[in-house]
Copies of this chain bind each other. A is one copy, B any other.
Amino acid sequence: MKRKITLKHIARELEVSISTVSKALKNSAEISDDTKQKVQAFAKLYNYRPNNLAISLKSRRTNNIGVIIPDIVHYFFTTVFRGIEQYSKKHGYNVIACVSDESLEKEIVNMEMLANGSVDGFIMALSAETQKTKDFDHLRQIKDLEIPLVLFDRITDEVECDKVLINDKEAAFTAVRKFIDNGRKRIALITTEDYFSVSQGREAGYRQAHESCGLAIDEDLILRLSFRDLDEGDINAFFDARDVDAVLCVNEIFAAHSMNLVQQKGVKVPEEMEFIGFTDGILSKYAKPGLTSMAQHGFKMGEIAAKMLIDRVESNLGEEEEPYRTEIIKSTLVERGSTLNTIPAKLV
């Protein structure tokens, strides 16, 4: 890499001091118009740009945000990331993106790499392993260093910080109520292992909806799949052995996949079996039939998370600490062809 032009070069060339150059470029009143013009012209000519590292070192602010997500291939995380990136960029911050790959260790390594001056704060969704083992020491360390932290979606109550999530419980409630309103009685839930905070919330909503209608819950209708490799056999076996007339899935992959499998067996969707997924992503849109879905509004979630973090970073300079906040984004029902009595005209 070529050596970039610095204040020192300009100073030497123009036979003034470094301080003068620095001030002239900032239009300081201390410097005469004459000198300012000369310096600015020279700087422009040689396309001078201040070195970010030096500024950061001096100011103890990097204008970088660390984002750690379990997985970037999934639509939901991607959209959140997009929201974070856009809001951050608009406010002069760059985003350093790390993927924890659902591993606690990678989460820790990533945090440590960034926590030593590379970043002004973190936005993250916890990895599966972190949620499973409930090991939050690394988060506490970040807090001890007084580095701002925002958790989204996959959160924990054991760490105090700003948080953004959707109303998982209510969303699942809404979905199941829709099934019940449509006359369904044998409603399956396809979910993950139960240590995920979101799955817990959604399962709670599933149960509450049943209770609110006096419908008994058949525990046998709850299928827990590994998030890593969803095995077709498991799903097929589940449906073969049970009488099911509606299915709520905690993500769109489970939904699209199981919907495909039952259709392959000749089950008619939505007439004989209705489906609702979570995450109104690209799969839901292009599934056949279109998948009714609880939209998570990832983009907005990302924007809000970024706003919370940046506000925190910038207020940190100022007055006393503000209390931590938890923002809830309302999930909304997007109706498509996998449920009945929905869009009257054409089923997308």
Q: Which residues of A come within 8 Å of B, CB atoms? A: 1-2, 4, 49-54, 56-57, 60, 62, 64, 72-73, 75, 78-79, 81-82, 85-86, 89, 94-99, 106, 109-110, 112-118, 120, 144-147, 253, 256-257, 260, 263, 282-283, 286-288, 316
* Pairwise interchain contact A113-B86, C-beta atoms closer than 8 A: no
* A78-B72, A260-B286, A283-B283 known; A1 vs B85 contact (CB < 8 Å): no
Contacting residues, chain B, for A95 (C-beta < 8 A): 96-98
Residue in B closest to A94 when the chains form the complex, CB atoms:
B96
Smallest beta-carbon distance A247→chain B, Å: 15
Contacting residues, chain B, for A98 (C-beta < 8 A): 85, 89, 94-95
Q: CA A31 – CA B94 in complex, angstroms?
A: 40
Contacting residues, chain B, for A94 (C-beta < 8 A): 96, 98, 113-114, 118
* Pairwise interchain contact B4-A52, C-beta atoms closer than 8 A: no
How many copies of this chain does one complex carry?
Answer: 2
Smallest beta-carbon distance A115→chain B, Å: 8
* A73-B82, A82-B73, A96-B94 known; A116 vs B2 contact (CB < 8 Å): no
Q: List 25 A-B contacts (CB under 8 A).
A: A1-B60, A1-B145, A2-B145, A50-B116, A51-B116, A52-B117, A53-B53, A53-B56, A53-B117, A53-B118, A54-B57, A54-B117, A72-B81, A78-B78, A81-B97, A82-B99, A85-B99, A89-B110, A94-B118, A253-B282, A256-B286, A260-B286, A263-B288, A282-B282, A287-B288
Contacting residues, chain B, for A106 (C-beta < 8 A): 89
Please tell me which one of the listed residues B4, B49, B96, B282 contacts residue A96 in the complex, with CB atoms under 8 A apart: B96
Smallest beta-carbon distance A53→chain B, Å: 4
Which 7 pairs show the lowest CB-CB distances between chains A and B? A2-B146, A97-B97, A288-B288, A256-B286, A53-B117, A52-B117, A51-B117
Contacting residues, chain B, for A81 (C-beta < 8 A): 72, 97
Residue in B closest to A146 when the chains form the complex, CB atoms:
B2
Q: CA A256 – CA B73 in complex, angstroms?
A: 18
Contacting residues, chain B, for A97 (C-beta < 8 A): 81, 85, 95-97
* Pairwise interchain contact B50-A96, C-beta atoms closer than 8 A: no
Smallest beta-carbon distance A52→chain B, Å: 4
